[in-house]
């Protein structure tokens, strides 16, 4: 086995913003994994270079080999003995594969839609950001290229032939994504990471998918508001950012465990839902005609007493 | 189906019990049906048998076009038509039959994750082998898919389907994969399933769930369908607990009709 660990690894990815080391999901997955596994990788953002359109981001260069796609890059790093999954049992490794498949099938279409297809978000956030990070004249090409790829991916995987129309699948992909976020929240419970006390590749994937959704300043936010209600997921992202991406310490001690009962959390979610329902019912009741008789007779004596001037 | 239509169907479904004359439609078994469709059909049949819901299997050449979503299989229950395993599971749940009620939230999350793993890896691999591998396409997929139709309609439909599947493979990044890589992915998926199953009779201990039905459907079809090479079946056979799992489900739920 050649001592390739000494060879420098360079990662090409999209640049940082919104408090995250990268705004691009796949780049973020790889960056998180490099931190978790302790690999030293020079990060070269492709912003303002021609690589924005020629390269398949993220890309790992090590010696002569070029590896693309997050799953392949993670495999490559494991072979270089940077393995964050070392302590997992076989069953946990199988669970990792299953949850990653869940993320890809259920969450990715909705994320692509939120960032690249939703007209408000695309026009106000995504396109300006990517156009501002691409050199002239690519700033006209790069965002629309990504948007086309995103739209065709959503339609081909979720659209029902022969009527490939985005409006028909929108409802379905968002409800799938919300369910996926709920499932992740159940699985995470009150733990810091998905498997024990140290983060693994599943944590990297979840971080890569969830963090941009949490931190981006999206104008149109049904999915983001749903995510923000799942406090353990937002806390998970903040933990990872504070522990591995804050600029002072390379590998800090494990964060303090909060003793929040998982059942209490579920109960809180249920109570929130119930109180929302009750509020809605209350609103409906107040606007119904029978209710008006109650409020139409203010006590004349009191108001008269308040407004009477002292003689 | 849109969300409103789904809610409406659930409501109507809850109103009536399961009738005796429910039918499941799939393409012709001997000549037409392909590996991926066969897998989905067996999965649904296994699920309905696990719920002890009677259903008749009817083979029609145009089943794919009759289906509301374009995918096989679909069931016709009363006056409603539901296709694909996911919606069918929800439909039967609305009628009061469910296999996964006893699972807690974390287990249900795991079950859904594993079902997505099977869909993401096994189903996609089956589609790839059927429609993107030239040898299989020429020898098996085109002749079978176009068998009910006369020339040139059969050829046109087969090419159209192939083009559609290849577009989808390119969109999800499988377009550039070689056959060896696909076999390796199948191997990893089977390894994950094997490790999850361990020595238990079913994935969630004593009771079968829709995950067991789905896994059985895919593995059974892979083991029993003739392809250009045995490589795929060999990869599955190397996991003995998956083999005994398939045999167990086959014996429990599918062999009663021959006895």
A120 vs A104: CA distance, rounded Å: 24
How much is the average pLDDT of B134-159? 90
Vertex A104 angle, CA A72 and A66, to 5°: 20
DSSP sequence for A239-270? HHHHHHSSSS-SSPPPPPPP---HHHHHHHHH
How much is the average pLDDT of B114-137? 91
Closest chain A CA to residue B192: A94
> Which residues does chain B have within 8 Å of residue A106's beta carbon, measured at their own beta carbons?
116
Domain boundaries in chain A? 9-245
Please tell me the least confidently modeled range out of A29-38, B12-21, B210-219: B12-21
Which pLDDT score is estimated for A161?
57
B245 vs B248: CA distance, rounded Å: 5
How much is the average pLDDT of B114-140? 91
Structure ipTM: 0.88
Which pLDDT score is estimated for A15?
82
Contact assignment for B110 to A95 by CB distance below 8 Å: yes
Q: What distance in Å separates residue B162's CA from the closest CA in chain A?
A: 14
Name the residue among B69, B171, B172 with its Cβ closest to that of A160: B69
> Which residues does chain A have within 8 Å of residue B199's beta carbon, measured at their own beta carbons?
none
Name the residue among A91, A157, A162 with its Cβ closest to that of B172: A157
The fold for domain A9-245 equals Glutathione S-transferase Yfyf (Class Pi); Chain A, domain 2 (1.20.1050)
**pLDDT tens-digit profile of B73-114?**
899 988 888 888 988 998 898 888 888 888 888 888 899 999
Closest chain B CA to residue A161: B70
Domain boundaries in chain B? 3-95, 105-254
Is B81 within 8 Å of chain A by CB?
Answer: no
Structural element, H or E, at residue B58? strand B56-59
Per-residue pLDDT of chain A (311 residues; tens, 9 = 90+): 334 445 678 888 888 888 888 888 888 898 888 888 888 888 888 887 777 777 777 888 888 888 888 888 888 888 888 888 888 888 888 999 999 999 998 999 999 999 888 888 888 888 888 888 888 888 888 888 888 888 888 888 877 655 556 777 888 888 889 999 999 998 988 888 888 888 889 999 999 999 998 888 888 888 888 998 988 999 999 988 888 887 644 444 444 444 445 566 667 667 666 666 676 677 677 766 665 554 444 444 444 444 444 44
Which pLDDT score is estimated for B191?
92
Question: Mean pLDDT score of chain B, rounded to an integer?
Answer: 87
CATH class as words, domain B105-254: mainly alpha
Strand partners, B57: B24
Contact assignment for A90 to B195 by CB distance below 8 Å: yes
How much is the average pLDDT of B28-42? 89
Is A278 within 8 Å of chain B by CB?
Answer: no
Contact assignment for B196 to A91 by CB distance below 8 Å: yes
Which of B67, B113, B189 should be substituted to probe chain A, the one whose Cβ sees the most A Cβ atoms within 10 Å? Answer: B113
Q: Does CATH number 3.20.20.150 belong to domain B3-95?
A: no
DSSP sequence for A43-104? EEE-TTSTHHHHS-SSEEEETTEEEESHHHHHHHHHHTT--TTTT--HHHHHHHHHHHHHII
Closest chain A CA to residue B86: A176
Which pLDDT score is estimated for A178?
92
Which pLDDT score is estimated for A305?
42
Which pLDDT score is estimated for A295?
46
**pLDDT tens-digit profile of B55-84?**
899 998 888 888 888 888 899 988 888 888
**A129-168 residues touching B, CB cutoff 8 A:** 149, 152-153, 156-157, 160-162, 168
> Which residues does chain B have within 8 Å of residue A172's beta carbon, measured at their own beta carbons?
2-3
* Rama region for B78: left / alpha / beta (φ>0; ψ in -120 to 50; rest): left
Omega cis (within 30) before B258: no
């Amino acid at each position: 086995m050649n001592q390739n660990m000494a060879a420098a690894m360079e990662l090409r990815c999209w640049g940082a913003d919104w408090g995250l080391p990268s705004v691009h999901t796949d780049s973020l997955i790889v960056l998180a994994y490099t931190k978790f596994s302790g690999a030293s990788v020079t990060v070269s953002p492709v912003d303002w270079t021609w690589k924005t359109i020629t390269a398949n981001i993220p890309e790992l260069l090590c010696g002569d080999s070029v590896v693309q796609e997050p799953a392949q890059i993670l495999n490559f790093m494991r072979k270089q003995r940077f393995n964050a999954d070392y302590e997992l049992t076989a069953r946990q490794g199988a669970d990792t594969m299953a949850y990653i498949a869940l993320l890809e099938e259920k969450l990715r279409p909705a994320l692509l839609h939120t960032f690249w297809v939703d007209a408000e978000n695309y026009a106000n956030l995504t396109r300006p950001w990517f156009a501002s990070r691409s050199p002239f004249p690519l700033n006209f090409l790069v965002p629309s290229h990504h948007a086309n790829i995103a739209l065709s991916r959503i339609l081909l995987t979720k659209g029902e032939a022969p009527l490939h129309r985005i409006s028909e699948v929108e409802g379905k992909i968002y409800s799938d994504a919300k369910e996926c976020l709920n499932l992740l929240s159940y699985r995470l419970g009150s733990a810091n990471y998905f498997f024990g006390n140290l983060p693994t590749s599943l944590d990297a994937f979840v971080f890569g998918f969830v963090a941009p959704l949490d931190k981006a300043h999206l104008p149109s936010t049904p999915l983001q508001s749903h995510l923000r209600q799942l406090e353990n997921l937002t806390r998970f992202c903040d933990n990872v950012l504070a522990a591995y991406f804050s600029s002072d310490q390379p590998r800090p001690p494990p964060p303090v465990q909060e003793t929040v009962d998982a059942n209490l959390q579920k109960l809180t979610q249920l109570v929130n839902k119930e109180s929302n329902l009750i509020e809605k019912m209350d609103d409906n009741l107040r606007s119904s005609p029978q209710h008006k008789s109650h409020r139409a007779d203010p006590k004349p004596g009191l108001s008269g007493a308040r407004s009477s001037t002292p003689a | 189906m849109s969300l409103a239509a789904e809610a409406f169907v659930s409501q109507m479904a809850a109103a009536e019990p399961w009738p005796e004359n429910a039918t499941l439609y799939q393409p012709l078994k001997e000549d037409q049906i392909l590996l991926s469709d066969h897998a989905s059909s067996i999965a649904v049949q296994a699920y309905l048998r696990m719920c002890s819901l009677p259903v008749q299997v009817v083979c029609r050449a145009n089943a794919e076009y009759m289906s509301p979503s374009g995918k096989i299989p679909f069931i016709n229950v009363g006056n409603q038509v539901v296709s694909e395993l996911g919606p069918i599971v929800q439909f039967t749940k609305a009628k009061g039959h469910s296999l996964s009620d006893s699972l807690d939230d974390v287990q249900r999350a795991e079950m859904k994750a594993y079902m997505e793993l099977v869909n993401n890896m096994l189903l996609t691999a089956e589609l790839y082998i059927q429609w993107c591998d030239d040898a299989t396409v020429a020898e098996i997929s085109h002749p079978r898919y176009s068998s009910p139709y006369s020339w040139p309609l059969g050829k046109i439909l087969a090419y159209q389907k192939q083009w559609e599947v290849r577009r989808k493979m390119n969109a999800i990044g499988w377009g550039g994969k070689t056959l060896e890589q696909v076999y390796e992915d199948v191997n990893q998926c089977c390894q994950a399933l094997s490790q999850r199953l361990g020595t238990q009779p079913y994935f969630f201990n004593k009771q079968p769930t829709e995950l067991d039905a789905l896994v059985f459907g895919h593995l059974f079809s892979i083991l029993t369908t003739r392809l250009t090479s045995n490589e795929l079946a060999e990869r599955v056979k190397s996991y003995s607990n998956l083999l005994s799992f398939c045999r167990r489900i086959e014996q429990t739920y599918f062999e009663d009709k021959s006895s």
